[in-house]
Amino acid sequence: MRNKRFKLTAMMAAVVLAVGLTGCGQTTEPAASSTVASVEKSSEASSEAKPAESTEEKSEESSEEVAEPGIDTNKQYTIKEFEIPDTETYRMLRDMKVGWNLGNCFDANNCDSWISNEMDYETAWCGAKATPELFATLKEAGFNTIRIPISWHNHLTDKKNFTISEQWIDRVQEVVDYCMAEDLYVIINIHHDNELEYMYPDKAHEAQSLRYVESIWTQVAKRFKDYDEKLLFESLNEPRMVGHNNEWWIDKNSQDCKDSIEVINHLNQKFVDVVRKTGGNNAHRYLVCPGYDAAPEGACNAGFELPTDPVDNDSRIIIAIHSYSPYSFALDVNGTSKWSSEDSRNKTEAIGFMNNLYEQFVANGVPVIIDEFGAVEKDGNLAERVDWAGFYVASARARGLTCVWWDNNVAKGNGERLGIIDRKSLQWSYPEIMEAIMNHCE
């Protein structure tokens, strides 16, 4: 995902309001939150992107936050118990516990108009470099997984063959090593490369997209093939037809949508085949693959196919889901700031999609991870966000789903305020949210 500042166009807003897409065939609000959430993220690449100084100022403010008294971070929720498969992969997902996204860092893209040094992309959107101390702080708090979103297309020395800049992949590896030194699980991916010149999931661009995925993942997989199983590879981030009327929702009667879903299946399969071929620990590495938009409905859609693993790896391919639900509360900066676990409708809107994921995948032994979730700050609604985060994580864990919070290092000011830790001061902007997550992720 997420964030710089972004305004939904009138058209996209209409789509969101009209469709209300949820996961796995539902037609309520939850899945709309997941898909539209990503809209904002990808728009960080727009020409309106601004240098990160203002973000740094917001980060400075957030470092002054202290735990607010009177907010219950250990609320007891009544949640049904679910049977979780006793497989190696599900035991690994359990051990991943809960995670945190290094958002708006290596995923920053298309900033060439105001950045001359490609290495400055790391701070272009978030205003802070990743440091060993950051991951030590996250580990100490209880996070056991770090997702590092990475855009590659602005870091190619040969665009014909999609050759990655050596200094860029070196820096990515350095940050992965920071995490590994803390014994953290790490997920790396192809993030904001969903463009016509690189990866675009329609029939017209399928051959080129397959070539791009093959080239990038061949280089990345070879670089990391000796890393242990705590490093996971994720094929793509929210693959979709950018700019299409159906960018953020699936029309089951649309041939374009059917074709795009099929192309995404092919791209995921290419990813799996390429990684396995590179050998080393990649022969049995855990791999993560999304459906259309990485939305619940994209995975539960009848056209989605889980890639075939050329090696018998006991379901080591994991489905990636993103869900900021309900959208009006969790991601829409102009939406409601109110949510309560005492309200049955609020609860259904927040986690209804999880039941569908459980029934279609988890109950059948297919691993699933929610590697983006979060709720933006609105009107000082800390108590509501704490309640939501605790309930969301507890509900997901009960169904065998591991969650990874999207953090964009923005806790104050305008835009999607999803930051919960200041990356410079290493102070928790919202310690109550962190505590609620930790109290409900076991």
Task: Please choose, from the candidates 197, 204, 186, 160, the residue with its C-alpha nearest in 3D space to the C-alpha of residue 45.
Answer: 197
What is the DSSP-derived secondary structure letter of residue 428?
Answer: B
- Under 8 Å CB-to-CB from 73, ≥6 apart: which residues? 386, 390, 432, 435, 436, 439
- Under 8 Å CB-to-CB from 24, ≥6 apart: which residues? 296, 297, 299, 300, 353, 356, 357, 359, 360
Tokens of 377: 């700050």
Q: Is the peptide bond before 310 cis (omega within 30 degrees of 0)?
A: no
64 is catalytic: no
Residues 150 and 103 sit within 8 Å (Cβ to Cβ): no
Catalytic entry in 29, 44, 155, 191: 191
Catalytic entry in 238, 377, 384, 435: 238
Query: In the chain, what is the greatest distance between 2 CA atoms, to the nearest angstrom?
Result: 58
Q: Pairing mode, if any, of strands 402-407 and 368-373?
A: parallel
Q: Is the sign of the CA dihedral 51, 57, 63, 69 positive or negative?
A: negative
Catalytic entry in 29, 122, 247, 372: 372
297 is catalytic: no
191 is catalytic: yes
Distance (Å) of CA 52 to CA 35, 105, 108, 114, 115? 26, 11, 11, 11, 11
Q: Tell me the catalytic residues.
A: 191, 238, 372
